[in-house]
Copies of this chain bind each other. A is one copy, B any other.
Amino acid sequence: MTKNEKSSPKITIFEVAAEAGVSFATVSRVINHDIHVKSETRDRVLSAMQRLGYVANRQARSLAGGKSNTIGLLVPDLGTGYIGEIIRGIDTELSWSEMDLILYTTHRTAAKEANYVANLARGMVDGLLLVLPRNPVDYIETLTRRNFPFVLIDHQGTVENCPAVGATNWQGAYTATEYLIQLGHKRIGFITGSMDLGCAEDRLKGYRSALRTNHIPEAAELIYEGNFFQPDGYAGACALLDLKNPPTAIFASNDVMAMGVMDAVRNRGLRIPDDISIVGFDNIPQSAMVYPPLTTVQQPLEQMGRVAAQMLINILKNGEKDSSRIELPTELIIRSSTSSPRDRVG
C-alpha cells in the first residue's frame, strides 16, 4: 500500500506547498520574490522546491501573470556571421534576466507576413528585437499602434524616432575614406549597400563628406550601387575597373561585398593591395581570415545586441517609452588590404 513511491507525477506549487507546510500562494510569492514572506518560511519553501525538483510551468505563469518572460528576435536570415554576433550579445544580456529567446526568421514567414508581427505581439513574447534588412515601416507601424515594446537593431533613417541601436555609420565611412586619402589615393571607388537602408545611405554620405573635406572631386562614375551581397561587390569592382580612369582603391559598404571585390580584382590579375586597395565594413569574422586580411570598419555587433537587449528589458521593466536611438562607435581596423597607391604614370 505504499502510495508513496510515484516516480515523477507533475510537481506543482501545490506539492511544494504541502511539502513545506504552507499554502500554495506562499510558494508563488517565493517564486516571485515577493517581499512579504518571512525569511524562515522562504527557506522552508525553497528547500521543499529543491527536494521535489520543482520547476515552474512557464505557460501557466504567462497565462496568469500576463507576461511570457520571453522576447522574440526577428531576423532576415542567418547566412553571414553578422547575425550570429548580434545574437551572442543579446544572449549574454538575456541570461542575466531569466528571459528566453525565441527566434523568428522573416524569410520563413514571408507569405503570411501581414499579420505576422501582430501574432507575435499576442501572448507569445513580451517584446521584440528586430534586425530587418528592408524598410520595416509597416511592422513598426503595427507595433507602435499596438504599443508593443520593441527595439530596432542596426536600422535607421526612414522611421521616426523609436528605440533603436545602431552604429556610427557615417563616422565609420568618413574615417575609412579619409584613411585612404591619407594613404595617397585620389580616385576611390565606392560600392553602396541597399539604398533603402539608412545605414547604407549614411555610409555613402560619410564617404562623400570625407572627399569633400579633403577637396577631392566627387565622381559619379566611381559610385556603384550594390545590394550588400557578394556578387554586387564582384560586379561593382568589374564596373569600376573597366573605367577609363579606374580607381586605385575600392571601399565596399560591407565585408561580404568587399570579398566579391577581392575576387574580381584577383581575377584580373591585379594584386591587393599593390594595385588596388580594398576596404570593407562590418568586420565579420572571416574578414580577418581572407587573404590578404581585409582592412575594414568594425561594427560593434555583439555590443549592439547587448545594448538592444538591455533597452528592451528596460522598457519591459519600467514601462518607459525610451524612444531614443543609441549609436555605438565604429572603428577602423587596418589590416593588409590597403596601402599607398603605386605611382601610376599616365
- Interface of A toward B, CB cutoff 8 Å: 8, 53, 55-60, 62-63, 68, 70, 73, 77-81, 83-84, 87-88, 91-92, 94-95, 100-105, 108-109, 115, 118-119, 122-124, 146, 230, 259, 262-263, 266, 285-286, 289-291
A161 to chain B, nearest CB (A): 24
Q: How many copies of this kind of chain does the complex include?
A: 2
Q: Could you tell me if A100 and B102 are in contact, using CB atoms closer than 8 angstroms?
A: yes
Write out the residue numbers on chain B whose beta carbons fall within 8 Å of the beta carbon of A124. 58-59, 100
**Across the interface, do B79 and A285 meet the contact criterion of CB distance under 8 Å?**
yes
Kindly identify which residue among B77, B83, B91, B118 contacts A105, using a CB–CB cutoff of 8 Å. B91
A62 to B62, CA, bound (A): 10
Tell me which of B77, B103, B290 contacts A101 (CB under 8 A): B103
Q: How far is the CB of A341 from chain B (nearest CB, A)?
A: 21
The residue that A80 contacts in the complex, of B58, B81, B104, B118, with Cβ under 8 A, is B81
Report how far A124 CA is from B88 CA in the complex, Å.
Answer: 22
Q: In the complex the two chains form, is A77's CB within 8 Å of B68's CB?
A: no
Please state if A8 and B290 are interface contacts (CB–CB under 8 Å). Answer: no
Beyond A57-B122, A80-B84: 14 further Cβ-contacts under 8 Å?
A55-B122, A59-B59, A59-B63, A59-B124, A70-B102, A79-B84, A88-B105, A91-B105, A94-B108, A101-B103, A101-B104, A286-B286, A286-B289, A286-B290
Residues in B with CB closer than 8 Å to A122 are 55-57
Bound-complex Cα distance A49 to B289 (A): 53
- Whether B289 and A123, one on each chain, are in contact in the complex, defined by CB atoms closer than 8 angstroms, is no
Chain B residue at minimum C-beta to C-beta distance from A66: B59
Known: A55-B115, A81-B80, A84-B83. A103 touches B105 (CB 8 A): no
In the bound complex, do residue A95 and residue B108 qualify as a contact, i.e. CB atoms below 8 Å apart?
Answer: yes
Distance from A257 Cβ to chain B, minimum over Cβ atoms (Å): 11
A101 to B146, CA, bound (A): 24
CB contacts (< 8 Å) of A103 on chain B: these are 73, 87, 101-103
Chain B residues whose CB sits within 8 angstroms of the CB of A59 once the complex forms: 59, 62-63, 68, 123-124
Q: Provide a sorted-by-A list of 25 A–B residue pairs whose CB atoms are within 8 angstroms.
A: A53-B115, A55-B115, A55-B122, A56-B122, A58-B124, A59-B59, A59-B62, A59-B123, A79-B285, A80-B81, A81-B81, A81-B84, A83-B84, A84-B84, A91-B108, A101-B103, A102-B102, A259-B289, A262-B291, A263-B289, A286-B289, A289-B290, A290-B290, A290-B291, A291-B291
- Name the B residues within 8 Å of A60 (CB-CB): 63, 123
The 7 closest A-B pairs by CB, nearest first: A78-B84, A286-B286, A59-B62, A291-B291, A57-B123, A95-B108, A59-B63
Which residue of the partner chain, among B77, B119, B266, contacts A55 with CB atoms under 8 Å? B119
CA distance A80 to B291 in the complex (A): 18
Q: Which residue of B lies closest to A122 (CB)?
A: B55
